[in-house]
Amino acid sequence: MKIFKLILPLLLVITCSAQEWSGADEIAEDTIKELNPNYEPWFSPIFEPVGELETLFFSIQAAIGGFLIGYFLGKHERKS
């Protein structure tokens, strides 16, 4: 548990300060356009969250994961 306590706040701090960093996928997208300027994506996402909605769905994803881990580790701790 010690490592968790050390790393998680650190992760939070870095993640919070990362607002202006662009995603590696955007850079890859630019590279694709450079390698093949004629390429047009032939399919676009059916649903694309805009603005804060994206943050919401990312948080929900992390929350689901955190819940699953916490619930089952907690359950084991109670038993022992």
Partner 1 sequence: MHIMEGFLKPEWCAFWFALATPVVIYGAWRVKREIEKDPKAKSLLAVSLGFIFVLSALKLPSVTGSCSHPTGTGVAVILFGPSVTAFLSSIALLYQALLLAHGGITTLGANTFSMGIVGPFFGFLAYKALKKFSLPVAFFSAAAVADLTTYVITSLQLALAFPAFPGIEGVWISAIRFLGIFAITQLPIAVVEAFLAVALLRNIKAYSPEVSTA
Sort 71 into a burial class: Cβ within 10 Å, 0-12 / 13-18 / 19+.
exposed
Q: Which two tokens stand for residue 14?
A: 């870095």
Is residue 9 at the binding interface for partner 1, with CB under 8 A as the rule? no
Contacts (CB under 8 A) with partner 1, residues 39-68: 39, 41-49, 54, 57-62, 64-68
Do residues 49 and 56 lie in contact, with contact meaning Cβ atoms separated by under 8 Å?
yes
| Spatial distance between the Cα atoms of 37 and 72, rounded to a whole number of angstroms | 49
Q: Which of residues 38, 51, 52, 77 is near partner 1 by CB under 8 A?
A: 77
Q: Which residues bind partner 1 (CB under 8 A)?
A: 1, 3-4, 7, 11, 14-15, 17-18, 21-29, 31-32, 35-36, 39, 41-49, 54, 57-62, 64-69, 71-73, 75-77, 80
